[in-house]
Structure 1
Amino acid sequence: MTTPPAYQDPAYSVPPQAPVPQPPKKGARALKKLLIRLGIGLIALVIWMIYDEVTGDPSTANAGDCVQVSGTDDNPDVHVIDCKDPKAAYKVLREDTGNGDQCKSVPGVVAWYTETGRADVVLCLGKNQ
């Protein structure tokens, strides 16, 4: 003889359980943190590069650019500016790295500017006509 199936009252049935979300794996969390840090670093680098271009940092000068020089001989303040600006006293004849000795052989050089630090810069300067 067969037994009838057990009676289930719908009022007492247990609803199906939703799956319990699992926390992300440690590797995924570390990768996410690394990508965030790299993104922040990249944004900071772009801001720094734009700031250097806007402020006329000497390390952005190329041959043919003009510069304004203020300050003293011991502590010059050099900024790249438009050649039509009346404050543009000098034109960059050659941009290089080193100690400035290479400027002695450049025709028309009246001065040179050297900067050491994050980027070694030598600007061989001639008069801006």
Structure 2
Amino acid sequence: MSQMPPLNTPYTPAQIRRNRLILLGLILVLAAMTAFWAFGPHDTKDQSATLKAGDCFENLGTNKEAKTKKLDCTDPHADYKVLKMNANAVVDTFACEDVPGTTGSLTQSGPGKWFVVCFKNNDEKGKKQHRAGA
């Protein structure tokens, strides 16, 4: 039969070194994941607050949580055209009811971020611009 080691036996230097390397490895993995999350590629930064009438955009988010990317109106991804940006508005139905042609609205609310964007489908999507004199 084998014997059980007595309780409160100190760890050997090899065990201590191994445990420290495991802990260091976990810390490095967590640090790398945090750095990627914080500094990694973010194509989904929301540009809703910068939109103004005449701008076109693509929704990179969902219908419930829109994340807009401002684009040239002739861009094939520019799905929507802003008809009105209503700063300090809260309710989209009231903010967009007097805007002819509105097919949708985007509402943002939060600390210092209250606005409604009234938009329609972009008719210029994918059309090439013609230069004057060409």
8 Å Cα contact 2:57/2:79 also seen in 1: yes
8 Å Cα contact 2:47/2:67 also seen in 1: no
2:95 aligned to which of 97, 102, 113: 102
Name the structure 2 match of 1:18: none
Name the structure 2 match of 1:67: 57
8 Å Cα contact 2:46/2:67 also seen in 1: no
Same amino acid, percent of matched pairs? 33
Q: Matched residues in 2 for 1:79 and 1:121: separation? A: 17
Higher relative contact order (CA 8 A, sep 6+): 2
8 Å Cα contact 1:58/1:78 also seen in 2: yes
Name the structure 2 match of 1:124: 118
Mapping 1:75-114, distance limit 5 Å: 75-97=65-87, 98=89, 99-100=91-92, 101-114=94-107
Q: Matched residues in 1 for 2:46 and 2:62: separation? A: 18
CA offset at residue 56 of structure 1? Answer: 6.3
What is the TM-score when the length of structure 2 is the normalising length?
Answer: 0.51
What is the TM-score when the length of structure 1 is the normalising length?
Answer: 0.53
Q: Matched residues in 1 for 2:66 and 2:49: separation? A: 14
| Larger helix percent | 1
Q: Matched residues in 2 for 1:121 and 1:102: separation? A: 9
8 Å Cα contact 1:95/1:121 also seen in 2: yes
Aligned pair count reads: 75
Name the structure 2 match of 1:8: none
Mapping 1:6-85, distance limit 5 Å: 57-85=47-75
Rg bigger for which structure? 1
Q: Provide the alpha-carbon RMSD of the alignment.
A: 1.6
Shift in CA distance, 69/122, structure 1 to aligned 2, threshold 3 Å: same
Segments of structure 2 that go 5 or more residues without pairing to the other structure are 1-44, 124-134
